[in-house]
Structure 1
Amino acid sequence: MASEITYAEVKFKNESPSPAVKVPPETKKPEHHPQKYPLWLPWLISLLLLVVCFALVVVLLVVLFWHSSDQPRVLQQQFSEWECNSAVPQGTDRGWTCCPEGWRRFERSCYFLSLDKMNWTESEQNCTGMGSHLVVINSRAEQEFLSLEIKQPSYRVNFYIGLFEEKEGHWQWVDKTPYNETAAFWKKGEPNNRNGGNTAIMNVPTEPPYNWNDVKSYWKYYWICEAAAVTV
């Protein structure tokens, strides 16, 4: 018996193709172009910043100056030119002590020595108009300082100070500072009220420190103004 050969048809299904892998397109690197600006631009910016900083410092000093609590603003409004010293006054954290130009400074006060003569009342009014008052002497050191100052120039002989006789035998300073006889600097025998003197002067020829003399208030003499120094 002849053997039968059986053929079987085997069909293989086509496998699905492998998914395509998408490669991202190559990113194009941006081209770097050198920044174009004038070479002087950084210098200009630096200069502007410097100017701004300087302006801020000036404004700060002006604000501190005008708002200083140590001095009435009247004095500051009267004068546009000032002389400042960098020494820090004791008891303050500010760094400059200033007086109007032409005034003399001692410790924390400024002094103006007149070049013309007036009576006592006119002298005090003149000082008040400048934001000050006739000088009030509080210490021997201040008295000695002023005694040297009034000798320059030498032609001036007598200077009014801010001391007056409120009533007979009762002397008073213009700023209401209590009068202390033990801290007064009268010449020997003064005040004698010999000629009705009711105001006080410093007499230049008299050897300091005791050089005060009483005089009539309507006599005309030179005068000394005092104001607190401005600190900024």
Structure 2
Amino acid sequence: MMNEQGRLSPGTAAPAEERSCPRLNICLFLLTTLAIKAAFMTICLVLPFRHSSDQPRDPQQQQQQQQFSEWECNSTVPQGTERGWTCCPKGWRRFQRSCYFLSLDMMNWAESEQNCTGMGSQLVVINSKAEQVFLSKQIKNAPKRENFYIGLFAEKVGQWQWVDKTPYNVTAAFWRVGEPSNAPDQNGTVIHALEHNILKNWNDVIYYTMHHRICEAAAVTV
């Protein structure tokens, strides 16, 4: 009730539109909180392979991520780094920052390279003694497999080159004793699983002979 001066009399309630709504404020706060949590969970689930900084710029890596729906990840990246999971396609073997596929079937050299490229990878390029040792041990544990194509070939006799254009360094090669023979038609390279010396097990072979293959792709870090 209002007095003659137009003021509210003591004990008179304020109009309904001027009342505070603490319950409504609480409901709005809870709804906002739930929406934020839902958005955060969605980002966490999608982030590993959609984070803008993790998207591979190399078309081969983009193709690789589209090719495989199942991945295997581990947290062997040193703690304290920004991202701590390193992933390879399921069934591939990881060493350092690369993933390797050892085939069960056999193809010639050109078909092997085409098959690896189709999976967003390449025939393996061996850059270090450690990588050579790792791969040699892997193929020794592969039963009933003898030779594996790698990404080293010669367009001309004796002019060896890697499929990714990495310079060929003869001092960092792992040829068997007496190899390469550099015969005109032996311009593909294999690793022999049956060679005892794992640091001398490369051999040049006729490019159209059928062998297993090792594909290599960069591991994805998230």
Same fold (TM over 0.5): yes
Q: In the alignment, which residue of structure 1 is the partner of 2:115? A: 126
Q: Deviation of residue 56 (structure 1)?
A: 2.1
Query: For residues 89 and 217 of structure 1, do their structure 2 counterparts lie closer, same or farther at Cα, with a shift above 3 Å needed?
Result: farther
- Structure with higher Rg: it is 1
Q: Deviation of residue 89 (structure 1)?
A: 7.0
Q: In the alignment, which residue of structure 1 is the partner of 2:49? A: 62
Is residue 222 from structure 1 mapped to residue 212 from structure 2 by the alignment? Answer: yes
Counterpart pick for 2:176 among 187, 197, 212: 187
TM-score (norm 2): 0.80
Counterpart pick for 1:205 among 177, 194, 206: 194
AA paired with 2:49? Answer: V
Query: For residues 159 and 181 of structure 1, do their structure 2 counterparts lie closer, same or farther at Cα, with a shift above 3 Å needed?
Result: same
Q: In the alignment, which residue of structure 1 is the partner of 2:84? A: 95
Secondary structure of the corresponding residue to residue 150 of structure 1: helix
* Residues 185, 207 of structure 2: 8 Å contact kept: no
Instruction: Give the aligned length.
Output: 208
Q: Deviation of residue 49 (structure 1)?
A: 4.9
Q: In the alignment, which residue of structure 2 is the partner of 1:26? A: 10
Identity of aligned residues (%): 57
| Greater percentage in helix | 2
Deviations 1:113-153 (A, max 9, x none): 00000000000000011111100000000000000111232
Is residue 231 from structure 1 mapped to residue 218 from structure 2 by the alignment? Answer: no
Secondary structure of the corresponding residue to residue 138 of structure 1: coil
Q: In the alignment, which residue of structure 1 is the partner of 2:143? A: 154
AA paired with 1:214? Answer: D
Structure 1: state its 5+ residue gaps.
Answer: 1-21
* Residues 176, 200 of structure 2: 8 Å contact kept: yes
Q: Deviation of residue 44 (structure 1)?
A: 8.6
Structure 2: state its 5+ residue gaps.
Answer: none
Taking the TM superposition and a 5 Å limit, the aligned residue runs for 1:47-86 are 49-64=36-51, 67-69=55-57, 72-86=61-75
Distance 1:116 1:150 in 2: 14
Distance 2:102 2:216 in 1: 9
* Residues 89, 108 of structure 1: 8 Å contact kept: no
Q: Deviation of residue 64 (structure 1)?
A: 1.6
Secondary structure of the corresponding residue to residue 72 of structure 2: strand
Greater mean deviation of Cα atoms: 135-144 or 195-204: 195-204
RMSD: 3.2
Q: Deviation of residue 53 (structure 1)?
A: 2.0
TM-score (norm 1): 0.77
* Residues 85, 97 of structure 1: 8 Å contact kept: yes
Distance 2:184 2:194 in 1: 20
AA paired with 1:60? Answer: L
Distance 1:131 1:231 in 2: 16
Distance 1:47 1:160 in 2: 54
Q: Deviation of residue 48 (structure 1)?
A: 5.7
